[in-house]
Structure 1
């Protein structure tokens, strides 16, 4: 039975590669979503599904969204197309696993070394450039978004990306001797929800959300 379950999970997984967002656009996943069984999605991901209204309720970056099936209409709207694709991938392929309060680095993910370069450029360097000399702004944004403060480094927060899936943003301020540095970690249950390269997209979506919150509250 365990072998059959593992095979079924592998069959659900798409053939990911570093250009998957471009090669498999949102229309591809939307069609897969239309063909999917909403009851199976609800059980597999522990996501609430209203049979009468034909919609899921999903928490994404601290906010509850209504997602219709089979049309994939999100209320309120999500402008970030990468965020919409990741939600689709989550509903289609993720296996729920509770948060264990254990975090791992990107390199600890399967094939993490292979994809670390794009992740470092798109997430860590960007995070460091944006907030390395603006710790107070980073703290204001993360606390405004309801992230959980962690007593570590100069500033550290856990962001709930999707239910039970947390991303930890860590910042060390620079000084006269050392430049600012940063790190981004992922709760270890991300392995059950996304392919490794998706974590670069997830980090980027979070940074986009930080920028949007900052602009809205300037």
Structure 2
């Protein structure tokens, strides 16, 4: 099991070095008292400032509900004060800085589970995405765009199986992505989206 303690501490230091007002302005999440109000994959959390503690309702969020690597991802997003502008141009993971080196792990971690979970029933992907505020984008046989964070849209695409080829898929990002999070975070983010969608699909 990966030990995320050091990465969590670094993320907390970056979070605490920012002002609450700056993080609210740049992240798109509102301030509630001394917290940032964060919606993430169907869950609602309050991130306390400056502690970085995640709260669900009036109690700390248990790690089985929001794993520490997901907390790190959210803290990274909140602490990035770069006000980049969304371009509308889509890029693949391998087009992110250094992404071509890690495309196989990314595929194994995010794209393959997407195809396994929704390839046989792509319409289910649209059902889940729209439930979370995402929308159909017209790409592939089924394509949806979902904002994981206010400034980070993720595009999920599926192609149905036919007589010659099995079902396949891809996950794309806006070209502004490298200015918001480091490349390795997009593997965590894409995996979180796919498995979050899978969980929500099972609940529908």
Tell me, yes or no, whether TM beats 0.5.
Answer: yes
Q: Distance in 2 between matches of 1:213 and 1:70?
A: 31
Residue 16 of structure 1 is matched in structure 2 by none
Residue 199 of structure 2 is matched in structure 1 by 212
Residue 149 of structure 2 is matched in structure 1 by 162
Deviation at 1:39, TM superposition (A): 3.6
Report the structure number with the largest CA radius of gyration: 1
Provide the secondary structure at the position in 1 that maps to 2:36.
strand
Instruction: Give per-residue Cα distances to partners, 1:157-202, cap 9 Å, x unaligned.
Output: 0010111211100000002221111010001121111111111100
Deviation at 1:117, TM superposition (A): 1.6
Q: Distance in 2 between matches of 1:117 and 1:214?
A: 26
Deviation at 1:26, TM superposition (A): 2.5
Residue 54 of structure 1 is matched in structure 2 by 34
For structure 2, the residue ranges without an aligned partner over 5 or more in a row are none
Structural RMSD (CA): 2.6
For structure 1, the residue ranges without an aligned partner over 5 or more in a row are 1-19
Residue 128 of structure 1 is matched in structure 2 by 115
Residue 81 of structure 1 is matched in structure 2 by 68
Instruction: Give per-residue Cα distances to partners, 1:31-56, cap 9 Å, x unaligned.
Output: 44345432443455454335xx2122
Q: Normalising by structure 1, what TM-score?
A: 0.78
Residues 1:71 and 2:86 are matched in the alignment: no
Q: Distance in 1 between matches of 2:27 and 2:131?
A: 28
Q: Distance in 1 between matches of 2:169 and 2:120?
A: 11
Q: Distance in 1 between matches of 2:83 and 2:37?
A: 15
Q: Distance in 2 between matches of 1:84 and 1:123?
A: 18
Q: Distance in 1 between matches of 2:23 and 2:36?
A: 9
Aligned length: 197
